[in-house]
Amino acid sequence: MVQLDVIQKNANTEVGSYFVANYPPFSAWGPGHKQAVLDGLDQSAGPDPSPLGLYIHIPFCRKRCHFCYFRVYTDRNSSEIEQYLDALTREIELYSRKPYLQNRDFQFVYFGGGTPSYLSGDQLRGLVDRVNKHWRWEQAREVTFECEPGTLKKSKLEAIKEIGVTRLSLGIEHFDDDVLEINGRAHRSPEVLRAYEWAREVGFDQINVDLIAGMAGDTDAKWEDTVARTLALKPDNLTVYQMEVPQNSTLAREARESDGEVPIADWGTKRKWVQQAFDAFCKVGYEVSSAYTVVKRDNNNGFYYRDSLWRGADMIGTGVASFSYANGIHFQNEGGWADYLDAISNEQLPIARALPATDQQRMIRELVLQHKLGKVDAGYFRDKFQVEIATTYADVYDAMQKSNFARIDGDHIQLTPQGLLRVDALLPYFFEPEYRSQLPDGN
Ligand SMILES: C[S@@+](CC[C@H](N)C(=O)[O-])C[C@H]1O[C@@H](n2cnc3c(N)ncnc32)[C@H](O)[C@@H]1O
Ligand code: SF4
């Protein structure tokens, strides 16, 4: 019997990560499946392939934030950056020749990091000019670009617009300068306001801002002020993450060295802060679009990248340590700078580990990711996978209903606000038994 009482508890934040980004978990992927990726890419995609996306990883940052777990470099000089951009171009060229991808257009493109806006306008234009010799993306429905506010100038934002970006994503995180400082952010609040104004002047279709609930040093009053100042910007959408302390972050290392606790608010407080932000935005015309996001109601505010991935789209992830999914196979690039560059200079795809997903795993992957939207349509899973999720997962859904985390009405499975705020802790209950070691110990 599934017991969810543990998720009701108001646990302290500890080192570790609850965030479910994919399925099966990365720990199951291995180097032994590399050939399966190459074989998969040598097949044709058939007459009606799923949408295709491109992820471009720019792993440079001005400073490493204390909470960050991404693969980033803060010490690369301009010739190393040029070498990396060149490798990215060659990687994309290698993919463009693969039968599975030939003659397919990208429906979405995502520049993520690290900090894509660390690049200069000229570096960006140079990268895109070179990439476009092999693959163009004018027809993409959405091109997203992540920025750290302190790296932006108006001329750089113009270059970002020029390369086709439709959604700018600004990592504001918090408005209190002491909180930003304590957490090792490189920017301060005046830079946010300046960057936001320029971004509006340049005129992107959508501006998203990221906040984190539970940064070290945060308080009720500081959070309230951050929410009010974010509201005043009137972003098209707002993403609020609950602070995690991943194993490979500076915060986790410091906690290990001092044998101390991590200085982060408990899960109950973080959930309260996310809910406060969502409530404040929903009062003025936004609506909840996922566990982490509210969007302006009146504007055509899709999240094409997110929604496509969560419905099984193919995505080619380029750059060091990037993740891909193509022809039902998960794979990840080499995580070391030299390993990545060496593979490309040998004209090899820089794949380090992979996992061909079974039909059941593909279904579970979509199911867990779609739960993050707050609602799941059982009919979708019946049509696509011939699985009755309400009966297959009857024990999990019963427990979720008893705990007031979900309501079920026919094919419509709806997470309650309480369920949505804890969704990442609930998702491992849908995993196959061998991957359930990730079940939460209370948050
Ligand atoms: C790659 S960063 C965005 C671009 C840029 N590097 C920046 O930080 O401004 C993606 C987002 O992940 C979130 N993030 C990073 N580390 C996190 C953590 N430990 N817990 C919760 N959210 C985190 C932050 O909101 C950040 O904006
Ligand atoms: S949170 Fe963003 S800016 Fe900070 S180290 Fe991570 S990727 Fe870089």
**Alpha carbon distance 428, 396 (integer Å):** 10
Contact (CB, 8 A) for 216 and 264: yes
- 314-346 pLDDT, tens digit per residue, is 999 999 999 999 999 999 999 999 999 999 999
Does the Cβ of 148 fall within 6 Å of ligand 1? yes
The contacts of residue 179 (CB under 8 Å, 6+ apart) are 215, 216, 217, 218, 222
pLDDT at 439 over 60: no
State both tokens at 129.
Answer: 């000019």
pLDDT at 302 over 80: no
- 385-419 pLDDT, tens digit per residue, is 999 999 999 999 999 999 999 999 999 999 999 99
Does the Cβ of 367 fall within 6 Å of ligand 1? no
Residue 34's closest CA among 354, 356, 357, 358? 354
Atom of ligand 1 nearest to the CA of 114: 6
pLDDT at 4 over 80: no
In the beta sheet, which residues pair with residue 406?
A: 415
CA dihedral for 94, 309, 312, 274, sign (positive or negative):
positive
Does the Cβ of 180 fall within 6 Å of ligand 2? no
In the beta sheet, which residues pair with residue 245?
A: 15, 16
Distance 116 CA to ligand 1 centre (A): 13
State both tokens at 399.
Answer: 């427990």
**Alpha carbon distance 163, 130 (integer Å):** 12
**Alpha carbon distance 170, 230 (integer Å):** 11
- 347-361 pLDDT, tens digit per residue, is 999 999 999 999 999
- What are the chain's domains? 26-308 (3.80.30.20), 358-430 (1.10.10.920)
SS (H, E, C) 380-421: HHHHHHCCCHHHHCHHHHHHHHHCCCEEEECCEEEECHHHHH
Report the residue among 19, 57, 58, 210 best suited for mutation to probe ligand 1: largest number of ligand atoms under 8 A from its CB: 210
| Whole-number pLDDT of residue 60 | 97
**Residue 54 carries which side chain, given as an amino acid letter?**
L
State both tokens at 134.
Answer: 């092999």
Q: Which residue has a Cα nearest atom 25 of ligand 1?
A: 210
Contact (CB, 8 A) for 426 and 371: yes
Consecutive H or E run containing 352: strand 351-356
Consecutive H or E run containing 333: strand 329-333
| Whole-number pLDDT of residue 441 | 47
Give Cα separations from 48 to 45, 51, 104, 111 (angstroms): 8, 9, 10, 26
- 252-283 pLDDT, tens digit per residue, is 888 888 877 888 999 999 999 999 999 999 99
| Whole-number pLDDT of residue 9 | 67
pTM, 2 dp: 0.95
Distance 212 CA to ligand 2 centre (A): 12
Atom of ligand 2 nearest to the CA of 68: 6
**Alpha carbon distance 30, 151 (integer Å):** 36
Q: For residue 407, with 0-12 CB atoms within 10 Å meaning exposed, 13-18 middle and 19 or more buried, which class applies?
A: middle
Does the Cβ of 173 fall within 6 Å of ligand 2? no
Does the Cβ of 252 fall within 6 Å of ligand 1? no
Q: How confident is the model at residue 300 (pLDDT cuts 50, 70, 90)?
A: low
